[in-house]
Structures are given as structure tokens and as C-alpha cells.
Amino acid sequence: MYAIVDIETTGGYAENHRMTEIAIIHHDGLQITGRFQTLINPGRRVPLFITGLTGITNEMVSQAPLFEDIAPEIHEQLKEKVFVAHNAHFDYSFLKKELEEAGISWSSRRLCTVKLSRKIIPGLDSYSLGRLAESLGIVITDRHRAGGDAEATARIFDQLLKRDERGVIAKALKRNSGDAILPPNLRKEDYDLLPAKPGVYYFLDGRGQVIYVGKAINLKKRITGHFTGEAAEWNRSNIRNEIHGIRYELTGNELIALILEAKEIRSRWPKYNLAQKVRVESWGVFDYYDRNGFRRFVVNAVGRNAKPLVTFANKSAAWSALWTKVKDFELCPKLSGLQVAKGPCYAHLSGSCRGACEGKEAVAEYNARTETMMASFVPGGMSAAIFGPGRSEQEQSVILVEQGQYIGFGYASAGQSLNELGAIREVIIPDRENRIAQGIVTSVLQNPVEQEVIYFD
């Protein structure tokens, strides 16, 4: 038995929006056997643009039942039935969340009529509900209302059942098919080919344009997380419906994936990489002398023409690196901009600061340690190579820094000797100035926990 569902809502993602209407049509595989439909009071105002789309007003839902009041009845309509909807993830995510909040645990096998139509009736220009119904000679009455759209979906599903000569529906119903979690326009064959390896992935729209770039230690796991998660920042957009394909590039390790992701986002500006489209801001550690002659340090954003001692990809990395250096060289947190409390610093009270903040340590003695500390940062004239795993067991990766500047990365055979700068330069693909990559690499050089680093004079 199938439950063919359509809902109307106050917005596009389940985490922050509520349902305003639901229609459920029962189908036994041969014909429609029953119908259920009701408006729902969402407990909030219906946005004007939703009213414009659906015709559902605040007045219409004000006297309708709250979801929790009819949750048992809705669950009765759905339980022990295969859930069917056009773009099933959308409707299913709302219903599952609403039922859970009403104290009802529910799950169901799912069928998406968008995905089924692509396989059973290939070659159409569009698989939207309106265009698909039109191509099948189905007239939708009461468009963008739950009852009208559910009725159209039921008639489409009826056609799919009759045309399914290759057993597409039966295959989709296998619990381990994984088909239900995928975006409606993505082929399962493309998803199945994803490797469980580090790399950068690209979501493509129907024209093959990149609309999102991400990085992962495990490409398969990370991309699956996108499709199964309920994160508001993901479901708020229409990105699920726009994904038609996935490309990926193996990197061998997370560090190069981070660098490549930053480069690709800044060069392609994908429409859904919103967080990375803000102005790039690297952070640095700066030094200056106070009126008593003590050398002080401060973490600040790196502006145009600024000359920090060292730069990092973000403020957190810069603070963490400076804290480590201050502790290692027994410097004063107050004189390093890491503590603002009045009186002696906490480190002096515990014995790890020698008292510069209280005038108990000579300026020359304190500043001598700051010189040593500054030299421990990667100096501007130093070159280094950072080695890591390659894209296969027969390969190694290498990142090159020359005179403190990130140059690029490349790959070489695992047995190839790369002990000289000249040999490393031959395998490196030069990268144009990349402030994010510079900060990432600098952070690693300050604390190379998992990386093998060779320094060159």
C-alpha cells in the first residue's frame, strides 16, 4: 500500500518552518483507495510570498488544528505504507520532524516520483510536477495546494506503475538502495562511484556549472552527510533540486584538500559557497615597543601593506600559535595581547611569567627572549617542503614554501628523492598568490603534528 503525500509549508526547510496543509492519497498499486486532507495551523504567520504562491492565508489556518492535535491521525494514514511524493525528501523531512516533536516515532520506505520518472520516462525537458503532468496529459486543478498537487502526483505514480517494465520501482524499494536520500536530479550511478578518499568535490547544475565546492577527508561520507542531514544552512537553499551531477578531484590528504578548496572557491565563486564569498581576511602576529621599552605582540587582521611577523588563515590559529610561543619562551601574556586583566598576569601568579608585567624583569633580558621567540616563527628567508600521502600508495604529495611564501603543491612517485629544492620545484604546480593557502601552510609549519617537514637554508 502506498501513501502519496503533498504538503504546503511556511518555508523551504524543516528545521525552521512548519506545515500549513497536508493531503494523503492511498493507492494499492492498482487504484486509489482513499483520501485525507486538512489545513494545519502552523503556530506562526504565513509569509506573504507563501500566500501569493499557495493562496493559503493566515485567516484560513487560524481555525485549523495544530499538528500535534492531529498527529495520531496523520500517523495512522502513513504507517505501514510506502511514502510517495514528488521530491520526496522535502515532504518526508517535514513530516518526520513534526511527528517526532509530537512524540511519535515514524520512518518509512520512500519513493520519489521525480527520480522514478527520470528512469521510467527518460528524455523529458523537465521533471517538475507541472511540466511532468503536462507531458503525461494530466491536468492539475488547484495547483500549489496540497490536495491538487497530491492528486496529480497520484495520477503520475499510477502512470509510472503501468510503464515500469524494467522493475525500477521494485529496485528503488530495496531498503539498502540508498536512492531515497539523493537529490531528485542526481543519478545514483554517479553517487555510487564516489570514493572514500580525501579530495575536493564539485556539485554541478543541469548545465554542468559548478554551484558548490567542498573538501573532505572521506568524499563518500561527506557528500552523504549533505544529503541526509537536516542542517538549516543546507536545506534553506534550493541546492538539492539544482544538483544534477558530482565531480571530484582526489588530493591524497586533507591539507592539500583545504588548499585546493580555497583556490577553487576563489576562482569559481560558486553560488552556494556563501560563507567563503565574504572578503578574505588573514590574521597575523605583529610586534611593537611600549613606552617602557618592552617588545609586545598583538594578533590582528592583516590589512593592505601590513607586515606581520607571520600570517595565519584565521584568528583562532594565530591566537593558538602565539599562546604556544608565549608559554614555550616564558613570555608575559599581558605583554603579548593575550590577557587584559588589571594587575599581574595569571602566568606570573603561577610562576610561568618572570614578572615583566610587574617590572620585575629587566627590559633587555625580556626582549632577548622575544628575539628568540620571533626567530622560532618561520622566518621570511626560510624555505620548506611539507610531505604527505599521495593519491595512491605509489605516490607522495609535496607543498613548497620558498622564503616564507607558499608556492604551490604537486605529486611525485613514492620512491622519488626530493631532498633538494630543484627536484621539488620540478613537481610543483605553481599557484598564484593565495592568502588563504598561505595562512593554512603557515599554521601547519608552526605545529606540524602529522606532517613531515624538511627545511632548506
* Whether residue 404 sits in one domain with residue 269: no
Mean pLDDT of 382-409: 90
Phi-psi region of 163 (alpha: psi -120 to 50; beta: other; left: phi over 0): alpha
Residue 343 has pLDDT above 80, yes or no: no
CA distance 457 to 455: 7
Cα angle value 95/101/105 (rounded, 5°): 70
One-letter amino acid for residue 218 of the chain:
N
Q: Copy the grid coordinates of residue 205.
A: 547544475
Q: Could you read off the pLDDT of 274-321 as tens digits, one per residue?
A: 755 445 567 888 999 999 999 999 998 887 777 788 878 778 878 888
**What pairing do the DSSP bridges indicate for beta strands 110-112 and 19-27?**
unpaired
For residues 230 and 183, the model is more confident at: 183
Q: Which residues of 423-445 are buried (b: 16+ CB within 10 A; e: fewer)?
A: ebeebbeebeebbbbbbbbbbbb
Predicted confidence at residue 381, as pLDDT, reads 59
For residue range 28-66, list pLDDT tens digits in order. Answer: 999 999 999 999 999 999 998 889 889 999 999 999 999
C-alpha torsion angle, residues 150, 153, 159, 161 (rounded to 10): -90
Residue 440 has pLDDT above 90, yes or no: no
Q: Indicate whether 260 and 347 sit together in one domain.
A: no
C-alpha cell at 432: 598564484
Whether residues 127 and 36 share a domain: the answer is yes
CATH code assigned at 125: 3.30.420.10
Of the candidate ranges 123-132, 266-275, 293-302, 430-439, the one whose mean pLDDT is the lowest = 430-439
291 plus 372 within the same structural domain: yes
Residue 385 φ/ψ, nearest 5 degrees:
-125, 130
pLDDT at 17 over 80: yes
Dist. CA 418–CA 248, nearest whole Å? 28
Q: How confident is the model at residue 234 (pLDDT cuts 50, 70, 90)?
A: low
209 vs 206: CA distance, rounded Å: 7
Domain boundary among 376, 405, 423: 376
User: Among this protein's residues, is 75 annotated catalytic?
Assistant: no
Alpha helices in 46-180 (DSSP H): 48-54, 58-62, 67-78, 88-101, 113-120, 129-135, 146-163, 168-172
Q: Is the pLDDT of residue 171 over 80?
A: yes
pLDDT > 90 fraction of the chain, expressed in percent and rounded: 48
pLDDT in tens, 98-129: 999 999 999 888 999 999 999 999 988 889 99
Query: Number of helices (H) and strands (E), helices first, in the chain?
Result: 18, 16
> Would you place residue 370 in the very low, low, confident or very high pLDDT band (cuts 50, 70, 90)?
very high
Residue 104: what pLDDT?
92
pLDDT value of residue 71 = 95
Q: Among 17, 75, 89, 144, which one carries the catalytic annotation?
A: 144
The Cβ of residue 231 has, within 10 Å, a number of other Cβ atoms equal to 11
How far is residue 456 from each of residues 386, 407, 419, measured CA to CA in Å?
A: 11, 14, 9
Q: Is the pLDDT of residue 449 over 80?
A: no
Beta strand ranges found along 290-394 (DSSP E): 295-301, 310-312, 383-389
Q: Which three cell numbers stand for residue 323?
A: 599562546
Question: Sign (positive/negative) of CA torsion 255, 257, 263, 266?
Answer: negative
pLDDT of residue 176 exceeding 60, the answer is: no
Query: What strands, in cross-sheet order, belong to the sheet with 395-402?
Result: 428-430, 405-413, 395-402, 383-389, 452-456
Structural domain containing residue 419:
383-456
Residue 178: predicted pLDDT: 60
Cβ partners under 8 Å of residue 49, min gap 6 = none
DSSP for residue 276? G
Residues 157 and 269 in one domain: no
280: amino acid identity, one letter:
V
What CATH number does the domain containing 258 carry?
Answer: 3.40.1440.10
Give the containing element (helix H, strand E) for 37: strand 32-39
**Over residues 148-170, mean pLDDT:** 93
Using an 8 Å Cβ cutoff, are 14 and 54 in contact? no
Residues 92 and 236 placed together within one structural domain of the fold? no
Tell me what pLDDT residue 195 has. Answer: 93
Q: What is the mean pLDDT of residues 355-381?
A: 84
Q: Are 230 and 181 in contact (CB under 8 A)?
A: no
**Predicted local distance difference test score (pLDDT) of residue 331:** 92
Domain boundary among 243, 277, 311: 277
**pLDDT, averaged across the chain:** 87
Answer yes or no: do 100 and 222 share one domain: no
Q: Are residues 53 and 148 in the same domain?
A: yes
Instruction: Select from 277, 306, 339 the last residue of a domain.
Output: 277
User: Do residues 293 and 364 share a domain?
Assistant: yes
Give residue 229's pLDDT: 57
pLDDT at residue 275, as a whole number:
56
pLDDT at 236 over 50: no
User: Which whole number is the average pLDDT over 169-198?
Assistant: 80
Kindly state whether residues 48 and 174 are assigned to the same domain: yes
Q: If you write DSSP's letter for every residue of 344-360 in order, what string do you get? A: S-HHHHHTSS-SGGGT-
8 Å CB contact between 115 and 207? no
Domain total in the chain: 4
Do 301 and 231 lie in a common domain?
no
Residues 94 and 128 in one domain: yes
Got the DSSP string for 219-251? HHHHHHHHHH---HHHHTSSHHHH--EEEEEE-
Give 231's pLDDT tier (boundaries 50, 70, 90): very low
Confidence of residue 210 (pLDDT cuts 50, 70, 90): very high
59: β partners: none
